[in-house]
Structure 1
Amino acid sequence: MKQKFYVYNILLTTGEYLENIRIEGPLEDHFPGISVSLLPVVDVKGQTIVLNIFHIVKADLIAVEE
């Protein structure tokens, strides 16, 4: 079975706008409960960013890659 990568543009509470963030699987699958609130992702520059579920204001799905 092929892995699917979901590409998002994400707005944070700080006002920072992250573009083209690739995540394996849907974003909501990575936050199943309150105990899992951090998610490391890689931006387009190859830098790792750790997202916190409580700082995500909006996440727009822009593509699904297989």
Structure 2
Amino acid sequence: MTCRSLTVSEISRRAGLHIATAWRLVAELVSYGFLARDADRRVHIGMPMWELGTRASPGP
């Protein structure tokens, strides 16, 4: 499994948000663990978000 990571600038551009708004949102989500930063300050999905996603997935 590869972990796709993005910069905050890339997130801002893709979401159509002003860069300052994207920074604030990312910082808040990082503080709760839903997003995580790597050594290069790129952002990827954190474990709580993975867990939430698996619980929300439709079961058999």
TM-score by length of 2: 0.23
Identify which of structures 1 and 2 has the higher relative contact order when contacts are C-alpha pairs closer than 8 Å and 6+ apart.
1
- Greater Cα radius of gyration, structure 1 or 2: 2
Normalized per residue, the structure richer in strand is 1
Normalized per residue, the structure richer in helix is 2
